[in-house]
């Protein structure tokens, strides 16, 4: 819905504020043009959110202009009209009597002047509907622009390695919002500092101090309270449409921020799992169980394990990692190999290996879906002998590469002569 300040910016309406201030951003739902005499006797009707334009201001047929306008202002205040515009020959506060100006301020009614005659306003009223239609089109275009700035991977768990980072997506939205609402935009967090800012110069200087011509709104990015906030300092009052855009932008930024925090948490889990694997590799199974207890209670409460090694060759290991994490769903210890482009899985054998939903079958499905990958598996070993199981599993990769399903277990490993060309 357009605001008073929006209408003042439209040259055809020839409107200027006499008093406005904080009320300049009042929404205007309709325009009613009538003579001052027509407002007498309580015949004004419903004027809520309406801009009332009155003509014959000085020829009211009354002994005092103030006597005619004061009841009108009281009614406009009671119904919370958008404002009162008076037809004058020339803009300026001197065109409106001081008593009228004082009454408008006292009653909280925005007062404006217009140099358009009353008959012209009857022709201009349909223009308000056109203006609202243009605003709706602009709003739809801006929402489309916002959606186009969201990272694709929010809708796809398998991240494209060439996709934008969360920081880039946040910056794109900040740039878009600053241009759309003509404002300075800062996305910040008390602990992480400035996450995005537009214009870019904001990252190199302190935020502009708010003045009577600027307004700052702050919106949290998450209802859960992550601490991140979107702050917008506008150069002019924001209408309902632009205020709504702020809410949409805050939700989009919050979605990106939650994804970023979720990724950080997932990476922390992966680092812990690698530490646990390294403890197992040196025979410190008790320490490994203790470290993993807070992350996955009972996962290593086992005496026997089987180790699988997935060789990602020259492919992106992160794709295989995420698919394996989804397939395993916490049923096995999974870690990146710190030396080779491998993934190492320690299966505690807590489920039937041959069952369709078992760990081995889940990993075989992952490998089958990723060309260029292969997997080798060890025999069953004691938990204290994970290093030996890893060595055996890695040794079966040669057989796995030559197998139709690109998977091999130590029990199935062919004799060396079988794999020589």
Per-residue pLDDT of the chain (421 residues; tens, 9 = 90+): 678 888 888 888 899 999 867 777 788 888 888 887 777 666 678 888 889 998 866 554 444 555 678 888 888 999 999 999 998 888 888 888 888 888 899 999 999 999 988 888 887 887 777 776 666 666 667 777 776 666 655 544 444 544 456 778 888 888 888 888 888 999 998 888 898 999 875 554 444 444 444 578 888 887 555 688 999 998 877 777 778 888 888 888 888 888 877 877 888 889 999 999 999 999 999 999 998 888 888 999 999 999 999 999 988 999 999 999 999 999 999 999 999 999 999 999 987 777 777 899 999 999 999 999 999 999 999 999 999 999 999 999 999 999 988 999 987 544 443 444 4
Q: Where, residue-wise, is CATH 3.30.70.270 in the chain?
A: 283-409
> What pLDDT does 140 receive?
66
Q: Where, residue-wise, is CATH 3.30.450.40 in the chain?
A: 162-263
121: tokens are: 């306003």
> What pLDDT does 163 receive?
45
Q: What is the CATH number of domain 162-263?
A: 3.30.450.40
CATH for the 283-409 domain, from 3.30.300.30, 3.30.70.270, 3.65.10.10, 2.60.120.260:
3.30.70.270
DSSP 308-347: EEEE-TTS-HHHHHHHHHHHHTTSSEEEE-SSSSEEEEEE
C-alpha distance from residue 352 to each of 303, 361, 385, 409 (Å):
15, 10, 21, 16
How far is it, in rounded angstroms, from Cα 295 to Cα 293? 6
> What pLDDT does 13 receive?
86
What is the end-to-end Cα distance of the chain in Å, rounded? 77
Pick from 335, 342, 323, 339: nearest CA to 299 = 335
Phi, psi of 26 (to 5 degrees): -65, 140
> What pLDDT does 11 receive?
86
- Cα-based angle 381, 384, 387 (whole degrees, multiple of 5): 75
| Reported pTM | 0.54
Sheet of strand 83-87: strand arrangement:
15-19, 111-114, 83-87, 50-55, 30-35
> What pLDDT does 415 receive?
47
Q: Where, residue-wise, is CATH 3.40.1390.20 in the chain?
A: 4-123
> Was domain 4-123 assigned CATH 3.40.1390.20?
yes
How far is it, in rounded angstroms, from Cα 36 to Cα 90? 19
Residue linked to tokens 């007498």: 40
């Amino acid at each position: 819905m357009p605001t008073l300040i929006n209408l003042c910016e439209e040259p055809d309406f020839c409107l200027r504020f006499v008093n406005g201030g904080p009320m300049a951003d009042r929404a205007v739902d309709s325009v009613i043009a009538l003579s001052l005499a027509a407002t007498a006797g309580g015949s004004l009707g419903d004027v809520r959110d309406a801009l009332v334009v009155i003509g014959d201001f000085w020829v009211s047929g009354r002994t005092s202009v103030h006597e005619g306008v004061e009841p009108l202002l009281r009614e406009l205040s009671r119904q919370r009209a958008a404002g009162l515009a008076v037809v004058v020959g020339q803009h300026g506060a001197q065109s409106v009597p001081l008593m009228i100006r004082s009454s408008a301020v006292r009653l909280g009614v925005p007062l404006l002047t217009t140099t358009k005659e009353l008959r012209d306003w009857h022709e201009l009223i349909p223009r308000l509907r056109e203006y609202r239609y243009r605003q709706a089109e602009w709003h739809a275009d801006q929402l489309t622009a916002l959606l186009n700035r969201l990272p694709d991977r929010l809708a796809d768990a398998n991240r494209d390695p060439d996709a934008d980072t969360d920081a880039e997506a946040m910056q794109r939205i900040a740039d878009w919002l600053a241009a759309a609402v003509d404002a300075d935009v800062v996305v910040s967090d008390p602990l992480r500092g400035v996450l995005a800012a537009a214009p870019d110069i904001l990252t190199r200087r302190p935020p502009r101090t708010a003045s009577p011509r600027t307004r700052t709104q702050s919106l949290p990015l998450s209802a859960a309270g992550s601490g991140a906030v979107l702050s917008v300092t506008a150069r002019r009052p924001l209408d309902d449409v632009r205020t709504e855009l702020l809410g949409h932008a805050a939700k989009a930024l919050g979605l990106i921020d939650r994804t970023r925090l979720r990724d950080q948490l997932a990476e922390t889990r992966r680092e812990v799992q690698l530490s646990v694997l390294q403890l197992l590799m040196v025979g410190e199974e008790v320490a490994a169980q203790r470290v993993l207890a807070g992350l996955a209670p009972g996962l290593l409460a086992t005496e026997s394990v089987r180790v699988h090694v997935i060789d990602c060759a020259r492919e992106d290991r992160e794709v295989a990692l995420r698919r394996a994490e989804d397939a395993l769903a916490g049923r096995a210890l999974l870690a990146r190999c710190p030396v080779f482009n491998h993934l190492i899985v320690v299966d505690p054998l807590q489920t039937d290996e041959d069952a369709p939903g078992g760990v081995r079958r889940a990993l075989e499905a992952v490998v089958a879906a990723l060309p260029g990958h292969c997997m080798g598996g060890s025999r069953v070993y004691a938990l204290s002998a994970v290093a030996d199981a890893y060595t055996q599993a890695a040794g079966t990769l040669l057989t796995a590469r030559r197998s139709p399903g690109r998977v091999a277990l130590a029990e199935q490993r062919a004799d060396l002569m079988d794999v020589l060309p």
